[in-house]
Structure formats: structure tokens, C-alpha cells
Amino acid sequence: MVMHALDRKLLRDFFRLWAQVLAISMVLACGVAALLTSFGMYQALGDSRDAYYGRNRLADLWAPARRAPMSLLPEIAAIPGIRTAEARTEGMVMLDLPGREEVAVGQILSLPASGEPLLNLPILRSGRLPDPDAEAEVAVNEPFALANGYRPGDRFSANLNGARRELTITGTVLSPEFIYALGPGALMPDKEGFAVIWMPERAVQAAFDMSGAFNSVTIALYAGASEAEVIDRLDALLDPYGGTGAYGRDRQISDSFVSSEMDQLWTMTVVLPPIFFGVAAFLVNMVLGRIVALERSEIGLLKALGYSNTAIAMHYLMLAGLTAVVGILVGWGFGAWMAHGLATLYADFFNFPYLIFRGSWTVYAISGLIGLGSAAFGALRVALKAARLPPAVAMQPPAPPRFRRGLIDRIMARLRLSQPAMMILRNLVRWPIRAAASALGLSMAVAVLAAASFFDDALDKMLDTTFGLANRQDVVLMFTEDLPEISLDELRSLPGAMQIEGQLSEAVILRNGHLEKHTGIEARRPDSDLSRVVTDAGRVTAVAPGGLVLTERLAEQLGLAIGDPVEVEFLSGRRETVSLPLHATIPQYIGLGAYADFETLNAIRRQAPRVSVANVTIDEAHRAEFHRALNEMPALAGTAMLTDMLRSFKDTIQKNIDITATVYIVIAVLITVGVTYNGARIQLSERARELASLRILGFSRGEVSFILVGETMVLALLAQPFGWLAGMGIAWAFTQGVTSDLYEIPFVIVPSTFARASLIVLVTALVSALIVRRRIDRLDLVAVMKTRE
Amino acid sequence: MAPPVFRTENLTKVYDTGKVKVHALAGVDLELYEGELTVLLGPSGSGKSTLLNILGGLDTATSGRVWFRDLELTGMGDRQLTAYRRDHVGFVFQFYNLVASLTARENVQLVTDVSKHPMRPAEALALVGLEPRLDHFPAELSGGEQQRVAIARAIAKRPEVLLCDEPTGALDSKTGVQVLEALQRVNDELGTATVVITHNAMIRKMAHRVLRFQDGRISSVETNDTRLAPSEIEW
């Protein structure tokens, strides 16, 4: 097949304009890649989660209790709306792992005598499930086994309700309940130090003294059943047995984290790609507009030759289309690579048995179509304008652009600007929309950078407040039951323990009218030095007796203002309800905390001072002995190693932030190059005659270059404040999209973040403009003046 | 006498620039005939190019009527004018208007791609003496060669009329003569009615008829009994 001459022109133009095409394609590629990564991952995560939950029958409700008789189970199962109710026994245990200095924590779940549970079915990854009759056989979650190098047949010991037991691993499993396996008090999953342990029912009941009883029910509902109604009836049934309130998937830790990650991906999908597609559309519009201006006579000629308007419009649309195709292909490649990287990253945090990329071809199709669409959107007006050029007019050179004397000129006259400076400013004023759009594009580059670095700033603030001010203990020791405060004295003999402070925690429901929230109240002595309440201004404050201090988010969710009474229902012991006034609110970035005075809370509970948790600082030199001693402590349900946790959290997050920051710098550089390189090329093309004339008149290369580079840099400078504003907007949108009950990202950007973003964009803009500037050196003065425009 | 290819009746074109109305054509009546080579002479702004654009379907008249054979051009829409240009008219412009990114052959192919009974591009280029330069880009051709490519491009579709606006305007006399020879050869061999606008009064001597324009009107018509060959013309 012989290629049509017009198509050949198209291809040659395409290759001739490679640098500009490439600059646009790369911006478009960022959009496609961002969409592919965020939306693709959002879909993959959602699909995998749904499939996993469905196949392995994740429960709809969880109802913990203190100790309920097995005879209660049929009554629970008879609640209308419940399809399956399964009882089990759970408990926290301290683990002594061979070769590990620190104590580890395990969450024990009973396996029914029949073998596999009906709900929350674990997937066997290696070995077998424990024999229902065995006393010391367990299955453990796969990440824990892999992190510690355990295989079926390996053993470790656990402190089961005060008795030390050797346990044999028979198999490793994954469970839909523990996609995100977070230990007590942990910030992020600690694969080595937190185990989920499945043990036969009989052995668990024997160990925890729960024969004929259970302390947890998992429930599957019929489709259409009212979750709230079932929860009400469940709570009523379990209330006499120490029920602490049934909850749905929204309060299940693992699912909350998966959902929160999906929310973040969705926010990314909505915020980022539109920026790239918008900038790409503008660039296509700007470059194609110039090409059409340059090819006026060729368009006229084509029309004179009898080419139809449609053929001409298509010709230019195809040029944009080819550019889009390059961008889309690169974006697909780049996006697939990033999605792979993200999936690897997720594998670190989320334990899925499989990731389903089922919908992936639709994501490719959608991102491709949007890419083509944005190029077409940018090209359409220009292509139509080309098509509508009357042939006779198209054959004439365009009238010189009309410059008018206006306010700006009077200002410039006042400022006694040089002629080159006037040329720069007049040109900007002459094409205000183009100038504004270029500045907007550059401001987006600044915004993307500022918004990306914002995470670093926010994280610093988050960790400073949470650990530097509010929680300064090294270790949190959690007791199986509340202990008299006096028993803290025994802990003082722990080797290496320096400071020890007690804290009382109570599970409660806080209410204001019809609004309610499950949470915990913490109370400490007012002179506590380790765990403290920190106010807005970063000051440490004691909670005044007789009232509550709530996190701002919690108060907001409950619709409470300072001074309002809060109804507090205690979920343990005598389940009384009291009313306390809201004394103050504090910002708190992790969790939804509520705080009361130590004496006040004990008085309400009508008890001599008791503590649920001890906050401890340790002497690093005696670390090993400290941990060895913990292994021998009977009343310990768990530990949280705050200092270690913070260190590994910082390492992991810092690594991710570094990767993300690099990606965003690349993205910002591509946007900046796209806008400035194309802008300068167009300027040079429009002004070649002008600039050549100046050279003939005796201007030096430097003076002429100043005009070209100057205009680019004026635009880049103008873009900065808007970029800062837009960056704050994006960061704010992120904080809003990501905030959940689990955490809140503080909205802080430090000035150096803006400075760095501006510096990167300004330097990139300057380099791009200087690359184009080299063409001034090659300007053939005679030839430029001879040919007609 | 051969039947007229073009006929106009009181053809008027007014350019309205807002402040002033410019009468580019102020009532032109004329007939142009098959196989005829007509030269239009006149100062700038006398209406020659406007007439040529209207005859070629690039522009429309303000009032009056114009026919191509039995086809009335006045009142045609853009789509019909496009079809008319594609099927019947060849153009040659002062500034060649070659597409810089296409070779000589491909520039001609631009036309042969969209016409019904075209010549082969090589054949059209041979007619203007450019066989050896088929695969050169415009930037590699001299001005005269470029203009001859433009002529080859114009005649490759075997148009019934060839409209030339200052075809030698940008050329020196030697290359200009080559271009005129190509035009005359096309006119002789293909019998294409040819209209040539020029500022160069000497070129009139190769025409069958010469129309002089002044202020949007035809001021005089002269018929050459003996025509000069392009090689005998000098300027």
C-alpha cells in the first residue's frame, strides 16, 4: 500500500518535532502512569479483598465478651439476620522466641474441634492444621514464620496464662482477618515480633480456663440484615457475660487499614492524574496552535488543492493523536513498573494470598482513552480553526499581532525598562491566556513537589507530637487484668527499668444524643512524665479532675463543643453510665483518644487506684536482662516496644517517602520541561525574525538570549506563589481524603518545602530555556530575513 | 471559437474592514476560453488576485455571478467549492507553497491522492523537466525548480483550468523563463485554459489575450496576433 502524501507529511512532522512531542508525551505519560498505578492498584486491592473475604468467609461482626457459656451460642444464632454464629476463645500471650532478645507477642485464636472454622477460614500455606486433640500444636501466620525462619516442625515457647509451654508449629496460614496484622499498641505490622497463633479449641480452653465457655463470637449476616439491629441484640445477650460491644468490619483493625489504604489510592486517583492530563492538553494546544500558525499557507494550499475541512482537521488531530500514543505507551510501561513496585511495597504491609489484577485491561483502556481524550481536547479547537481558515486568507501571511499601548506600557515607561525587558513584558501581555496557562502549568509542577514533600513535614510533626511529647516511654507493658497501682512497685525490680508509670485504660462508649463512638479512656497521674496529653500549642497539660479531654476528631464526630456533657458508658465491670463535661480538645494524630484524671476515673469505678498498663523507660545497657525478666512475668498480656517500633517505622516510612519524593521530582521536572521547553521553542519560532533583526542591528547573543530566557523565567517566577497555594490545596485534599479513625495527617508544610519545590522548578525551567537558547547561536540571519514568514 | 470556461457577470467583491469598504472588484464581466492563455496585468490592489481567487473557488463574490462552464460558483457552499477545486482547478502561487517536509514527488502526490484521473507524479514532473529531481526536498531545489514542482503539482490532476498568481514573481529571468516554458508546454499539450497574473508586462507577449486591471475593473483587453516564445522574453 502506498502511503498518502498527507500521511507522509504527518509522519515527517511528527519526527521533526520529536523534542516537543517527547516533552508533551512525557507529561501525558505521567498522567497515564499515575492513573494506572493508583486506580489500577485501587481496583486490584478492592478485587483481591472482596475475593479473599468471600472465599474465606470473613465475618461481618465480631463480639468479644469476658466469659460466656457455650449454651448461649444457640440463642445468639437465633437472632434474626444471623446466618452463622461461631464461638471461639482468644487470648494474648507473651512469646519467647529462640534467638530473639526481645519478648514477642502472640494473639491466640481457637480452632473448632471439627478442624476448620466456619468463618474467617485460614488458608494453609505450608504443613497442616494442628490435630484437634493435640495439646501443644499450633499453626502460625505465614509472615511471622517467614520473618523468623520457622518451618513446620519448629518450636517456640509461650507464656500461656502464667504457664510456660513449648509449642510445635504444624503449619503456616494466612487469614482474611489479618491482612494487616497489627500487634497491640503497634504503629505498623511487626512480622518478627507479633504472631497470630491458631490452636485447637480444647488446648486453648484448658490453657485459659475457659472449658465450656467462649470469649468471642464471630458472625455472618444474611444479605439485607440490619447490622445495627443485630449488634443491639447481641450486646443485650452478651452484656451479663462481660460483652464489650459487638462491632462490624468498620472497626476491625485489618479491614480498617485496607480500606484506609484504598481511600488514599482513590484520593491519589482523583487528585493527581487530572493535573497531568490538564497540562498535557494545554501543551498540545499551545504547540499545535503554533504549528497551524506556521502552516497557514500549507493549509491554504491543501484547501486550494481540494482537501476537505475534515481532512485538514484530521491531519492535525492525528498529530496530537500520535503524540498521545507515544505518551500512552510510555505511561503504560512506566505505570506497570510503578504498579509492580507498589504491589511489592504492599506485600510488606498487607498479607494477601493473591493479588487480582483482573480488571487490569480495563484500567489500561481507560487510561489510554483519557490520554487520547486530553490530547484531542487540547487539539480540537486548533484543528477546527485550521479547518475553518478560509483558503484565500490562509494563503496570505497573517497580519502582525496588534500591540496596544495600555496601562502596562505606562507602568513600563515609569520603570524605564530596557527595550528587551519591554519586549518580554509586552509579549506576555499580548498573549495573556497563553502566559497564564504556562504559569499555571509550572505552578502545578511546584504544587506537585510541595504536596509530595508535605508528607515528610507532616510525618515529622506527627512523630514529634506523638513520640517526642506525648509518649516518651520505651516500653508499654499491658496487663491481663487491671492491677492495684501498688503492684507497680514490683516492676521497679525489673533489671534495667528506670522510670515506671501506671495508666488506667477503660473501654467505653461515648455518647452525645444519638451520636456514639466506641473508644477507650486513658487516665494517668497528673505528674506523669512519660505518657502525657499535649495541647494544640505543643504544651503538656494535665487533665483537670471531673472532666474529659477528647481528640478534636472525636469531639467533632460526636458533635461536642467544650463544656458539653458527654455520656460515658463503661463496657467492663459494673457497666454504669456517667456524664462528664468536655473540658478541652487536643489534636492527636494517631487514634481517637479520650483522657480523664486518674483519681476521677478510679473514683467513678469506685475502686482503689488500679492500672491496666505500665509505661517504662529502660536502660539500654540492661536491655537483654529486661526482656528475659518479662518472659517470666505471669500477668502480662502484651508489650509494645515503642522505641524500637518508632525506629523501624521511621526507617520503613522514610524509605517509602524517599522513593515517592524521587518519583514526584521526576514528575515535576517533566512537567516543567514540557511547559518551558515548548514555550521557549514557540517563542523562538514566533520571534526568529525579530531576534535575527536585533542581531543584525548589533545586539549581542547574550542580549538577544535575555529576551528568550527572560520571558520563560518571568513566567516561572510568576508561577511560584500559585504553585505554593495549589500545593497547599493538594496537601489539604490529601489530609481530608486520608483522615480516618486510625490516624490523621496534620496539615503542616514548612517554608523550606516551598523553597525546595521552587528551586527545582526554577532550575529546570532555566535549563530548558537555555537548551532552546542555543538555537539563537545557530540562527542563520540572512536566511531568516529572506524567507517570508 | 471554443466555448467559454469561465463567465462572470457584474462580479463585485467588497472588503469591509470596519472603517472603510474596499472595492476589490467593482463589477467585472468577462469570458475566458478553453485552451486560452490569458495574462492579467495591473498594479497592486487592482483586483487581479481577488478575481483569480474567486474563479478558483478560494473566495466568494460579494455580488454578481460567475460560472465555470454550466456550473454556477456563486452561492456554492464550502463543501461544493472544495469539490470544485479538487476536480477542476490547478493553482500556482508566487511563493510556490510547497510542503517543506515532502519531496518533489510527494508534493505532487498530495494532488494525485485526491483526484480522479491524475497523471503519475513522475509524469507530471517530467512535463516540467524535473525527472532528475524527483526525490529532492524543497530545501534542496532552486527557486525555479520549486516553482516547476508547484506547476507539476497543479497540472498532475489534468485540471481544466490552471490559475497562476505571479508564478515568476520571486524568480530571476533565467529561471523565470524555465517556468514560463513549463506553463506554455502545459497549455499547448494539454489544452488547459491558463490564467497568469503578473506584474511583468513582458510576459504578456506570450499570451493569447491580455486583460488590464485598474481599480477593480478591466480597463482594456488586447489580443496578440503573434505570440512570443518564453525564450524570446527577457526582463
List, in order of start, the domains of chain B with CATH numbers: 35-60+87-232 (3.40.50.300)
What is the identity of the amino acid at B27?
Answer: G
pLDDT tens track for A473-487: 999 998 888 999 998
Say if B107 is an interface residue toward chain A (CB within 8 Å). yes
- In tens, the pLDDT along B46-87 reads 999 899 989 988 888 999 999 999 999 998 888 888 888 888
Give how far B5 is from chain A: nearest CA, Å: 19
Q: Please give the torsion angle defined by the CA atoms of residues A380, A673, A747 and A540, in that order, rounded to the nearest 10 degrees.
A: 180
Q: Looking at chain A, which residue has its C-alpha nearest residue B157?
A: A305
User: Is A307–B86 a contact, with Cβ atoms under 8 angstroms apart?
Assistant: yes
d(CA B170, CA A411): 44
Of B83, B95, B107, the CB nearest to A788: B95
For residue A306, give the nearest of B53, B86, B109 by CB distance.
B86
CB contact under 8 A, B97 and A309: no
- Which residue type, as a one-letter code, is found at position A787? T
Over chain A, what is the mean pLDDT? 88
**SS3 of A14-34:** HHHCHHHHHHHHHHHHHHHHH
Report pLDDT digits (tens) over A198-252: 999 999 999 888 999 999 999 999 999 999 999 999 999 998 998 888 999 988 9
User: Could you tell me the pLDDT band of residue A155, with boundaries at 50, 70 and 90?
Assistant: very high
Question: What is the C-alpha to C-alpha distance for residues B91 and B103, in angstroms, rounded to an integer?
Answer: 18
A121-135, A318-332, A378-392, A641-655: segment of lowest average pLDDT: A641-655
Q: Which of A126, A176, A132 is nearest to A149 (CA)?
A: A126
Cβ contact, residue pair B97, A302, below 8 Å: no
CB contact under 8 A, A9 and B56: no
Q: How far apart are CA A165 and CA B225, in angstroms?
A: 127
- Cβ-nearest to A9 among B56, B89, B101: B101
In the three-class reduction of DSSP (H, G, I as helix; E, B as strand; rest coil), residue A236 is classed as helix
Q: Which of A405, A385, A601 is nearest to A503 (CA)?
A: A601
What pLDDT, on the 0 to 100 scale, is given for residue A403?
60
Q: What is the pLDDT of residue A402?
A: 60
Q: Assign A77 to helix, strand or coil.
A: helix
Phi, psi (deg, nearest 5) at residue A503: -150, 135
Distances (CA, A) of A636 to A442, A476, A497, B149: 57, 11, 16, 95
Tell me which chain B residue has its CA closest to the CA of residue A303: B82
CB contact, 8 Å: B12 with chain A?
no
Percent of chain A topping pLDDT 90: 48
A305 contact residues in B (CB cutoff 8 A): 85-86, 91, 110-111, 114, 153
Write the CB contacts of A219 (distance below 8 Å, at least 6 apart in sequence): A59, A60, A61, A62, A63, A76, A82, A84, A85, A86, A119, A230, A234, A246
Asked if B85 is an interface residue toward chain A (Cβ–Cβ < 8 A), one would say yes
Question: Exposed e or buried b for every residue in B16-33, given b needs 16+ CB within 10 A?
Answer: eeeeeeebbbbebebebe
The dihedral built from the CA positions of residue B129, B132, B136 and B139, taken in this order, carries a sign that is negative
Residue A487: Cβ within 10 Å count: 14
**Closest approach of chain A CAs to the CA of B224, in angstroms?**
30
**Nearest residue of chain A to residue B56 (CA atoms):** A304
Q: Is A584 exposed, middle or buried (0-12, 13-18, 19+ CB in 10 A)?
A: middle
- C-alpha cell at position A633: 512475668
> Distance from CA of residue A757 to its chain's centroid?
20
CATH architecture entry for A497-618: Beta Barrel (2.40)
Alpha-carbon gap: A301 to the closest alpha carbon of chain B (Å): 7
B114 touches chain A (CB under 8 A): yes
Please check the confidence at residue A653 and state whether its pLDDT lies above 90. Answer: no
- Contact between chains at A303 and B58 (C-beta distance less than 8 A): yes
Q: Are B168 and B95 in contact (CB under 8 A)?
A: no
Q: Return the closest-CA partner of residue B44 out of B223, B199, B217.
A: B199
Q: How near does any CA of chain B get to the CA of A303, in Å?
A: 7
* Residue ranges, chain B, pLDDT below 50: none
Instruction: Tell me the average pLDDT across A696-720.
Output: 86
Query: Chain B partners of A308 at a C-beta cutoff of 8 Å?
Result: 79, 82
pLDDT band at A133 (very low <50, low <70, confident <90, very high): very high
Residue-wise pLDDT for A490-530, tens only, equals 888 889 899 999 999 998 999 999 999 989 999 999 888 89
B142 touches chain A (CB under 8 A): no
**Nearest chain A alpha carbon to B52:** A392
CB distance B99–A306 less than 8 Å?
Answer: no
In this prediction, residue A789 carries a pLDDT of: 41
Considering only alpha carbons, which residue of chain B is nearest residue A5?
B110
Residue A786 reports pLDDT greater than 60: no
Residue of A nearest to B54 (CA): A392
pLDDT in tens, A13-27: 899 889 889 989 999
Q: Which residues of B touch A18 (CB under 8 A)?
A: none
Gap between the Cα atoms of B32 and B17, Å rounded? 31
- Asked if A9's CB is within 8 angstroms of B99's CB, the reply is yes
pLDDT of the residue at A413: 67
**In the predicted structure, residue A784 carries a pLDDT above the cut 60:** no
Query: Smallest CA–CA separation between B12 and chain A, in Å?
Result: 16
Reply yes or no on whether the pLDDT at A534 is more than 60: yes
Contact in structure between B122 and B157 (CB atoms under 8 Å): no
DSSP H helices in B29-142? 48-55, 78-88, 104-112, 121-127
Residue of chain A whose Cα is closest to the Cα of B105: A5
ipTM (interface predicted TM): 0.72
Exposed/middle/buried for residue B10 (C-beta within 10 Å: 0-12, 13-18, 19+): middle
Q: Using the CB atoms, write b or e for B63-79: b if 16+ within 10 Å.
A: ebebbbeeeebbebebe
Residue A598, pLDDT > 60, answer yes
B113 touches chain A (CB under 8 A): yes
Interface of A with B (CB under 8 A): 4-6, 8-9, 12-13, 16, 297-298, 300-309, 390-392, 395, 788
Q: Are the beta carbons of A5 and B107 separated by less than 8 Å?
A: yes
Lowest mean pLDDT among A551-555, A596-600, B108-112: B108-112
- Quote the minimal CA–CA distance from A290 to chain B in Å: 16
3-state secondary structure of A192: coil
DSSP class of residue A84 equals: E
Distance CA(B234)–CA(B173), nearest Å, equals 7
Residue among A13, A305, A307 minimizing CB distance to B101: A13
- Chain segment A26-71, per-residue pLDDT in tens: 999 999 999 998 888 898 889 899 999 999 999 999 999 999 999 9
The rounded distance, in Å, linking the Cα atoms of A730 and A548 is 34
Using the structure block, give the residue that is written with the C-alpha cell 500455606: A125
Asked if B80 is an interface residue toward chain A (Cβ–Cβ < 8 A), one would say no
Per the CB < 8 A criterion, the answer to whether A140 and A173 are in contact is: yes
Domain boundaries, given as residue ranges, for chain A: 1-59+256-398, 90-209, 431-471+645-789, 497-618
- Kindly report, residue by residue over A420-450, the tens digit of the pLDDT: 777 788 788 878 888 898 999 999 999 989 9
> Taking CA atoms, what residue in B is nearest to A14?
B101
